[in-house]
Amino acid sequence: MSKDRTIFKIDWISVVIFFALVFFGWLSIYSTTFEDPNQSILNLSTLYGKQLLWILLSMVIILFVLSIESKFYERFSSVIYILSLLSLLGLLFFGKTINGQTAWYSFGSFSIQPAEFAKAAVALAIAKYLSELNVDLKKLKYQFSTLLIILLPIGLILLQPDAGSALVFFSFFIAIYREGLPGFYIWFGLLAIILFALVLLIGSTITAIVTACIVIGVMFFLKKQKKKVFPVFIVSILSIGFILSVNFIYTNILKPHQKERFEVLVNLEENKRGSGYNLYQSIVAIGSGGLTGKGFLEGYSKQGGFVPEQHTDYIFTSIAEEWGFIGSSIVIFLFIAFLLRILFLAERQKKPFSRIYGYGVFGIFFIHFFINLGMVLGLVPTIGIPLPLFSYGGSGLWGFTILVFIFLKLDADRQKLGS
């Protein structure tokens, strides 16, 4: 076998961490869905048996992704993006509805969720567009075009409706910011989130007064330093306008279950038997694990069925309960190590397309990891975002596999692509 082949040049550190996460993820799914000790781990009537099949098939996907010429992903990124949009659009006519969401194509007992594969398609499209010679993200028309690439799949996913999957696509702003998007957009987005939370916690009038006082102070300081105050004035007007619109948005736009998720965060104790039941039981399960955990298959929350759908969005509760603080820390360390490795690989790329795509991979994994952990710990509302490579689901596993190994292929060929 020639040393020029991808297998010798692929970043094996990333591969090892990736499969370590997949392995621990499968163990967690086995633990949360285990019932009969006499059943084989390959029994496809069980969730852990199906997940193992998805893992084995992902090996085939990896070989296929790595066998394709690296230039293919850049050359046909637009075609892949359009096909992805068509797959999302087709759900409106041929999709299967599960739990109120028309987000899957059904083939007998097998279902595919196109939104999971759209992540790689959008990452490729953004990388292709931003790597073109004349694109300048400091100009409004290029900002709009880039935003449109992201908003099209978001709009189609919201029609399903799947707000959690749609939210993930905003992670591409990390890659866009790295490539020159003015920081104003990021800071204004964070400010909007903070103001929204403050309005719900202390009311719009008090929030508006506090914001106005802070803005006046900042403007006075800037004026004293002989710096421009007009941008701050514009932001303040937009902020106060947003504050005054929060109640309308909350009352007339958000759906009842979405409102409940915010209310649970601010008043968990009163909601622990109602809409906050999942979150309350999640925190109890995490806390009960202690330092070393209760042991594999010994989780009380699983045996008692206290955390519904523990094998999906709340799978971290199983890790914390059975493996304790030490086991949870190891899993978190693996995720952080993987994220840092992706960043390192992205920065060493010789071609902008590969670098931008790498940052897209980082953003997707980061927002999944950050929001899922924040959700089970009660730091963010329950949104329905799975933990990568841990939560049950073939589409999610395959989507992340394709996302990562396209990047590892690009990295393996970085010398050739950069020449």
Rounded distance between C-alpha atoms, residue 261 and residue 272, angstroms: 12
- The answer to whether the beta carbons of residues 385 and 375 sit under 8 Å apart is yes
Which pLDDT belongs to residue 3? 42
Which pLDDT belongs to residue 269? 46
Which pLDDT belongs to residue 259? 61
Rounded distance between C-alpha atoms, residue 147 and residue 170, angstroms: 10
Which pLDDT belongs to residue 84? 95
Partners of 105 in the beta sheet? 112
Rounded distance between C-alpha atoms, residue 335 and residue 1, angstroms: 33
C-alpha to C-alpha distances, 285 to 59, 294, 369, nearest whole angstrom:
33, 11, 19
Which pLDDT belongs to residue 406? 96
State yes or no: cis peptide before 161, omega within 30 of 0. yes
Rounded distance between C-alpha atoms, residue 140 and residue 75, angstroms: 26
C-alpha to C-alpha distances, 64 to 23, 101, 150, nearest whole angstrom:
21, 31, 27
- The answer to whether the beta carbons of residues 323 and 289 sit under 8 Å apart is yes
Partners of 107 in the beta sheet? 110
Which pLDDT belongs to residue 219? 63
The residue among 263, 149, 241 whose CA lies nearest residue 197 is: 263
Sites in the chain below the pLDDT cut of 70 = 1-6, 197, 200-205, 207-208, 211-212, 215-236, 238-240, 242-244, 246-280, 299-309, 417-419
Cβ contacts of 251-254, under 8 Å, gap ≥ 24: none
The residue among 112, 67, 110 whose CA lies nearest residue 87 is: 112
Rounded distance between C-alpha atoms, residue 226 and residue 246, angstroms: 34
What pTM value is reported for the model?
Answer: 0.84
Which pLDDT belongs to residue 1? 36
Percent of the chain exceeding pLDDT 90 equals 38
Q: Residue 98 belongs to what H/E stretch?
A: strand 96-98
Give the tens place of pLDDT for each residue, 84-96.
999 999 999 988 8
Partners of 110 in the beta sheet? 107
Which pLDDT belongs to residue 213? 72
Phi, psi of 59 (to 5 degrees): -65, -40
Rounded distance between C-alpha atoms, residue 390 and residue 376, angstroms: 14
Phi, psi of 203 (to 5 degrees): 100, 150
Sign of CA dihedral 206, 208, 213, 217: positive
Cα angle value 49/55/56 (rounded, 5°)? 90
Which pLDDT belongs to residue 64? 94
Rounded distance between C-alpha atoms, residue 390 and residue 333, angstroms: 14
Residue 315 in tokens: 């799978």
Instruction: Count Cα neighbours of 372 within 13 Å in the Cβ-side half-sphere.
Output: 25
